[in-house]
Structure 1
Amino acid sequence: MKLDFSFLSEYLSYFVDGAKMTLLISLITVIVGSLLGSLLFFMKSSNIQIGKIKPLKIIASIYIEIIRGTPMLLQIMIVYAGSDIVFGLDLSPLTSAIVAISLNSAAYVSEIVRAGIEAVDNGQMEAARSLGMKKTQAMILVVIPQAIRNILPAIGNEFVTIIKESSMASVIGVGELMFAAKVVTGATYIPLTPLIASAMFYFVMTFSLGRLMSYIERRLKAGDIR
């Protein structure tokens, strides 16, 4: 069977626009997901108690387990359909996708943040406390700056993952890369090669970002050695 890519001369712009939308969704999502994930980590680490119950820890733990235990596609559909029914918000497909993927990413980023902070030697906190710092002050000024070195590479990997998983937004009509492939398939009646073209765009984006993150990780390790 001969693969025919002649359609690219007419429809290449569809894939380019789809790739731009994929990157936009992924960039916004990884930023929002990182902020929410950090908030979830601090909620889960909170010692605030009501009686013997730690409400913030319970809420964060339940949220993380539910998000990690259900498919992202289902979460996108729930946000898209449920935002109007439950909250009376008429969210666009793009906004719904960004909200759903950000909420999903936050559950995973919270674990990335936890692992990054736990990787910092306990002696750093003890040394800061011995200098008279409060625990919160020591965390902000001493532990977190060191933890960022551990967290950044993992956030980069999360970015790569989101680029691929954002393809699920096509089911609600978001004009990202997978949706572009479907549009071209419908216009040309060619079932396979538009998908291969889409796969090539995904590969270029994820491979390039992966190499960039590897470079950044090497630079961070070199900084640690110095």
Structure 2
Amino acid sequence: MSDGLPEGFFAQIGYLLQNYGTNYLKGAGITIVIAVICTAIGCVIGLGCGIVQTIPVEKRDGMGKKVLLGAARAVLRVYVEVFRGTPMILQAVLIFYGAAFLFGWNLDMWTAALVIVSVNTGAYMAESVRGGILSIPVGQTEGAKAIGLTHVQTMTSIILPQALRNIMPQIGNNLIINIKDTSVLFIIGVAELFSIHKGVVGATYAYFPSAVIEMAIYLVMTLVCSAILRWVEKRMDGESSYALVKQTGGLNAPPYVEHGKPRTGNLDL
């Protein structure tokens, strides 16, 4: 046991908070910043991958489009399967050390950390976006084509807004996962929360009390982020009340709007 570390569990908790509390908070700050930034970048990567994977191929399309799209989908499939099928800690080792060994790219640990977590998140989000797009009834796409919208207009104006709402829980889930999985970045020297815990344990040998403090901090971060994400989802759902419009005095008359309660009877149009 380290000199100066008191006896008793709660006494040791107090000692660690008093002497290393600032370090824990700095580690938590780095963890949450990396998680939020990389989740946002991963969503953009996943959005691009999901859109490419759902681009329709029709018989009248040229051979060039079919070959190019097929090759792109094959590359994306390999990317998704590799990064979803291997541990992030090994991905961190391969990207950070492999970039220097194979290509001579000496990435600093912060750049490597952002790349590692973002690319990993993008692989998971690619499948979420693809599923979100496919969850929209095909009749909406057919209706958009019927009124003359292009595929790009259909996606940006009709499909993606609904798909993004559908996958909001998965985006939140990935954020929570990233908050916890940044702990693997200690392998490349990033001073995130788990790395701080290792440093405190090395200095005090108070492994269990430090682990309890670390777990509590992770729990607070995930609970706060979950609450914020639920609020965002609720805001995206819009108001739960409705407005019933009754038009009187002809089509040019201003509408009569009643909020919050149903009206019975026929509407005068």
Asked if TM exceeds 0.5, the reply is yes
Partner of 1:137: 153
The alpha-carbon deviation at position 71 of structure 1 amounts to: 0.9
Change (3 A) 1:223 1:123: farther
Partner of 2:19: 10
- Aligned partner of 2:66 among 49, 71, 82: 49
Name structure 1 gaps, 5 residues minimum.
Answer: none
Partner of 2:39: 30
Paired amino acid for 2:29:
K
How far apart, CA to CA, are the structure 2 residues paired with 1:216 and 1:20? 22
- Aligned partner of 1:118 among 134, 146, 152: 134
Return the structure number with greater helix share: 1
The alpha-carbon deviation at position 50 of structure 1 amounts to: 2.3
Change (3 A) 1:41 1:30: same
Partner of 1:175: 191
How far apart, CA to CA, are the structure 2 residues paired with 1:33 and 1:225? 35
The alpha-carbon deviation at position 43 of structure 1 amounts to: 2.8
How far apart, CA to CA, are the structure 2 residues paired with 1:212 and 1:127? 35
The alpha-carbon deviation at position 174 of structure 1 amounts to: 0.5
Whether contact under 8 Å (1:26, 1:162) holds in the other structure is: yes
The alpha-carbon deviation at position 219 of structure 1 amounts to: 3.2
Aligned length: 225
Whether contact under 8 Å (1:45, 1:57) holds in the other structure is: no
Structure having the higher Rg: 2
- Aligned partner of 1:192 among 192, 196, 208: 208
Residue 205 (str. 1) matches residue 221 (str. 2):
yes
Spell out, residue by residue over 1:146-165, the C-alpha distance to the aligned partner (whole angstroms, 9 max, x if none): 22211223211111110001
Name structure 2 gaps, 5 residues minimum.
Answer: 1-6, 58-64, 243-269
Higher deviation after alignment, 81-90 or 216-225? 216-225
TM-score (norm 1): 0.92
Name the SS for the 2:148 alignment partner. coil
Whether contact under 8 Å (1:153, 1:216) holds in the other structure is: no
Whether contact under 8 Å (2:51, 2:129) holds in the other structure is: no
Name the SS for the 2:175 alignment partner. helix
**Considering only aligned residues, what root-mean-square deviation do their CA atoms show, in Å?**
1.9
The alpha-carbon deviation at position 37 of structure 1 amounts to: 1.1
